[in-house]
A and B are shown apart, each in its own frame.
Chain A
Amino acid sequence: MELAVFGTIFLTLLTAMVAYGLKYNYNQRAQMLAFRRAMTIASDKNYGSGSYMLIQDRHIPDPTDAFGIGSISPFVASASVTRDPEMDAVPADAASLPTTVVDMEVTGVGGEIEPLARIAVKNAGFRTESGVSDDMREKYDLIYSDVVDEGGGNVRIIDSCVGEIIDHSACYQQAVKIVDTDLCTRDCQITATSGTDCNAICARRMNPPNQDSAAYNPATGGAWYAANWYVENGRYVFPALNEVFSRVGSNASSMGMQADTQTHAIRSTQIRKIETTARIVTEENAAWEDNNLRQFVTFNNLQSNGYQVNHDDPMDYADAVEVQDINSRSTGEVHQTMTTPK
């Protein structure tokens, strides 16, 4: 009895030691790979910076299991690198827009890690607005930081809220800065260089939607994600932005690889014992299959030249949300025959 209890404790200890050892190893390796690959991407002058994410579904054996099969654990690492000479570079074309590369790898036959999927998505896109006076321009520079004057009151904005993956809280903050003069001023006082007249700049009106108008004007262009804004219980509500994220999933706050994973695990085990007068032969056969289903969400609203597709109704932007299913499948087999003479 005592032996059975101690044996279980020993086996649990063994499991924990092996599992922790493997997990830290795989984590370390994934982080190193991610950083080195981000560095390589950043070495391209067109990109200047590199963002890379690596997701590896690794098989971790479990000694407490009768056949030691275990399960699949995800190892995620990401890195961003910006080369010094490109620190202040402004993207000029579609190829130079900031991009994140996502690699998915999975444990294949024989335990080797194999590539599953590679996705390259732009983190920002170009958006144009017209009728922007020099006065208004200062506020555009404050809100977006990367604004290019194309002459005749036309500006080209590099907007992270029209990229192929966008983040709800970042776009919400940006929309609030556009429509709330006080918050714009407070943010300006923290981030702008000394001598900047934050009160005067933030009081200026950008193309609507702005602090005075919630309507979106497709003729001049504007921050469509702030369109039709209103205040409810002291909090700003942006229906167009909410509509986009309602297509991503319930309570989703960002695009890209979603945190929820569905795992379908199949286990088939068999023990066969043949006893003769001379020997006992035990055959063990086990087969396993793990399917990890994830969703990768993108905002496919960019043309090939990096400019966003314009819609008259801001709510139509939500139609560009696309959900892609990615299934990571791992399989393996265990065969063992043991012969004991009598």
Chain B
Amino acid sequence: MMTTRTRQTEAGQSTLELTAALIVLMILLVGAAKIFVWLNERMAYRQSEYERTRVQAGSVAFTSSIDLTNAEQTKGVEIDESSNPPLNIFN
């Protein structure tokens, strides 16, 4: 009678531990998936911004004054990512 009660208690204990651990693991997995989805979205937003600024980038007038040693002068129409949605794991 005593042995059966001990086994039932141990079984309950391990189920409880498994449940707690699975919750943590699931949070980790869902969090990682959210980060992955967010990173993918960033690529799509960046591509869209890149396409949007194509005409502007291709319409740069001919010049004759670019100093190749000056990084500022060789910057193109660069992608503005400030308006992209920030990472929100709980949303």
Residues of A within 8 A of B (CB): 3, 6-7, 10-11, 13-14, 17-18, 20-22, 24-25, 28-29, 32-33, 35-41, 43-47, 52, 83, 85, 99, 101, 103, 115, 118, 120
Contacts and interface: CB of A to CB of B under 8 A. Distances in A.
Contact of A25 (B17, B43, B64): B43
Contacts of B71: 103, 115, 118
Given A14-B28, A83-B62, A41 B35 contact: no
B66 A3 contact: no
Interface string B47-88: 100100000011011111110110101111111000000000
B29 interface: yes
B32 interface: yes
A12 to B, nearest CB: 11
B62 A45 contact: yes
Decide if the interface of chain B is mainly helix, strand, loop or mixed: helix
30 contacts: A6-B25, A10-B25, A10-B28, A10-B29, A14-B31, A14-B32, A17-B32, A17-B33, A17-B36, A21-B39, A24-B39, A25-B39, A32-B46, A32-B79, A33-B76, A33-B79, A36-B75, A37-B76, A38-B76, A39-B76, A41-B66, A43-B61, A44-B62, A44-B64, A44-B65, A45-B63, A46-B64, A46-B66, A52-B74, A115-B71
A37 B47 contact: no
Nearest to B25: A10
Nearest to B58: A39
Contacts of A18: 32, 35-36, 39
B40 interface: yes
A4 to B, nearest CB: 10
Nearest to A103: B71
Interface residues of B, number: 38
Nearest to B62: A45
Contacts of B23: none
Contacts of B35: 17-18, 21
Contacts of A28: 43, 46-47
Given A32-B46, A32-B79, A39-B58, 17 more contacts: A3-B21, A6-B25, A11-B28, A13-B29, A14-B28, A14-B32, A17-B36, A18-B35, A21-B35, A25-B43, A25-B46, A33-B78, A36-B76, A39-B57, A39-B76, A43-B63, A115-B71
Interface of B: 17-18, 21, 25, 28-29, 31-33, 35-36, 38-40, 42-43, 46-47, 50, 57-58, 60-66, 68-69, 71, 73-79
Contacts of B28: 10-11, 14
Contacts of A22: 39
Given A44-B65, A118-B71, A39 B60 contact: yes
Nearest to A21: B39
A45 B60 CA distance: 12
B52 to A, nearest CB: 12
B60 A40 contact: yes
A21 B40 contact: yes
Contacts of A85: 62
Contacts of A29: 46, 79
B43 A40 contact: no
A3 B36 contact: no
Nearest to A31: B50
A28 B81 CA distance: 13
B76 to A, nearest CB: 3
Contacts of B57: 36, 39
A39 B18 CA distance: 58
B48 to A, nearest CB: 12
A37 B32 contact: no
Nearest to B17: A3
A44 B76 CA distance: 12
